[in-house]
Amino acid sequence: MGVRDSGRLADGVVLSGIAKSFGPTRVLEAIDLAIEGGEFLTLVGPSGCGKSTLLRIIAGLETADAGSVAIGGRSVDHLRPDERDVAMVFQSYALYPHMTVAGNMATPLEMRRLTLAERLPLIRHLSPRRPRVMRGIMAEVRAVAETLQIAHLLDRKPAQLSGGQRQRVALGRAMVRRPRVFLMDEPLSNLDAALRVHMRSELAELHARLGITFIYVTHDQVEAMTMSSRVALMDQGRILQLGTPADLYDRPATVAVARFIGSPPINLLEGEADGTGGVRIDGVRLPIAPGVAAGTRVTVGIRPEALHPAPARHDGPVLRARLKRAENLGAEWMLHATLAGAGDAPLVVRITAAEHDAAAAAGLLGEDLALAVAPAGTHLFGADGARIAVRRLAGVA
């Protein structure tokens, strides 16, 4: 939990029973979510899952059909967006195109500190107070611009900036307000790959420095995994799982979570419980299903790094596969294979370069591939998609 420089605790956000429909389409179904003060919470999910709508409801840009939003322990349902003390960074950055960078960043402060008359053209010059207020605003704008390293761009218009620079201006416009909560809607999706990786670490640093609550929306599970203190994975208007990135990766609650988190994606194999604590996949028995009735259809999820080329004398269960293609990524290799037998299910195996070289030297990487299954990355899901507790496999890999 982070603390602001003023010393007071950062504000949490509590959503209770948020529901929203657009016409006949249910976008959000009674979302309950408690976001702790100072947390970096990411809403992640495929496009159309309702995550952006939820963010807009927190900001007050959309109204929920039902439910309530509280920030810092007080309901904000009746407050206008600007009264909620939240700042938002948009996917398109949403900079005012006719204003300079300085003008863009000063606008939220001008709106708060100047009266309507002091903002009107011509009339504003009658105010004796205005020059002093504007000097104060510009000093703050400059200070924020310097921390973001965009002070040299203050006189430019957004059209003269690169994507990364616009991104920083959008962050700066949100930061000058010193909001209680920072909302971000896919802020990195318009950047090129290298800059995206760089901005990921900058955003994480910014969060650590400001210590305020961040709510971040993305469809990219890598962004969710790398920056967040907790992740809420959403699909079809529901939160499928809420937890730390490690929770979601190591203990996915449903097959949908397992499928969404992880790159390359988890290998999913259809099998049948044999009633004696094992699952049969194409004739191979994996002893991982204690207490599951015989004949139950189950889905076995195996992370790519949980599969290893098996030595010839391997005493654990082994999946037989046909190697199709091997990709060298430098530090590691991806082996693309299909499961031998009727299914022809695709399998991806991720091994380190050292393991690859050793396996290749031992002649294990022929067309016929034997794959040992490591227990830690193996997950079992019932027919309804829910997780079934997996007993650790003993003596494998």
Partner 1 sequence: MRPGRLIGRIASHAVLLAGAVVMAAPFVWMLLTSIRPPEEVFGAVFDPIPSRFAGVENYGQALGASNLPRAMLNGVIVCGGILAVQLLTAIPAAYALARLSFRGRGLLFGLVLFGLCIPIQVPALPLYIALANLRLLDTYFALMMPFFLTVFGLFLFRQFFRTYPEEILQAARLDGMGEFEIVWRIAAPAALPAIAAFSVFSVVAHWNDLYWPLIVVTSSERATPALGILAFRDAETGGNYGALMAAAALITGPMIVGFLVARRAFVRGITMTGVR
Judged by the rule CB under 8 A, the positions of this chain that interact with partner 1 are: 56, 59, 61, 80-82, 86-88, 90-92, 94-98, 107-108, 111-112, 116, 119, 173
Question: What's the closest the beta carbon of residue 163 comes to partner 1, in angstroms?
Answer: 15
Question: What's the closest the beta carbon of residue 96 comes to partner 1, in angstroms?
Answer: 6
Query: For residue 181, how many other CB atoms are within 10 A of its CB?
Result: 24
Question: What end-to-end distance do the CA atoms of the chain give, in Å?
Answer: 39
Encode burial over 263-299: b for 16+ CB neighbours within 10 A, e otherwise: eeebbbbebbbbeeebbebbebebbbbeebeeebebb
Residue closer to partner 1 (CB basis): 183 or 292: 183
* Helix segments in the chain, DSSP class H: 51-59, 101-113, 116-119, 130-147, 163-175, 193-210, 221-227, 245-250, 255-260, 353-361
Question: What's the closest the beta carbon of residue 97 comes to partner 1, in angstroms?
Answer: 6
- The amino acid occupying position 81 is P
Burial level of 332, CB count in 10 A (0-12/13-18/19+)? middle
Question: What's the closest the beta carbon of residue 95 comes to partner 1, in angstroms?
Answer: 8
Residue closer to partner 1 (CB basis): 187 or 377: 187
Question: What's the closest the beta carbon of residue 88 comes to partner 1, in angstroms?
Answer: 5
Of the candidates 213, 217, 251, which has an alpha carbon nearest to the alpha carbon of residue 234?
A: 217
Residue 93 in tokens? 């950055």
Question: What's the closest the beta carbon of residue 70 comes to partner 1, in angstroms?
Answer: 19
Residue closer to partner 1 (CB basis): 95 or 154: 95
Question: What's the closest the beta carbon of residue 71 comes to partner 1, in angstroms?
Answer: 14
Residue closer to partner 1 (CB basis): 83 or 368: 83
Distances in whole angstroms, Cα of residue 195 to Cα of each of 42, 54, 173, 229: 20, 27, 20, 22
Residue closer to partner 1 (CB basis): 90 or 247: 90
Residue closer to partner 1 (CB basis): 108 or 309: 108
Residue closer to partner 1 (CB basis): 56 or 308: 56
Rg (Cα) of the chain, in Å, rounded?
26
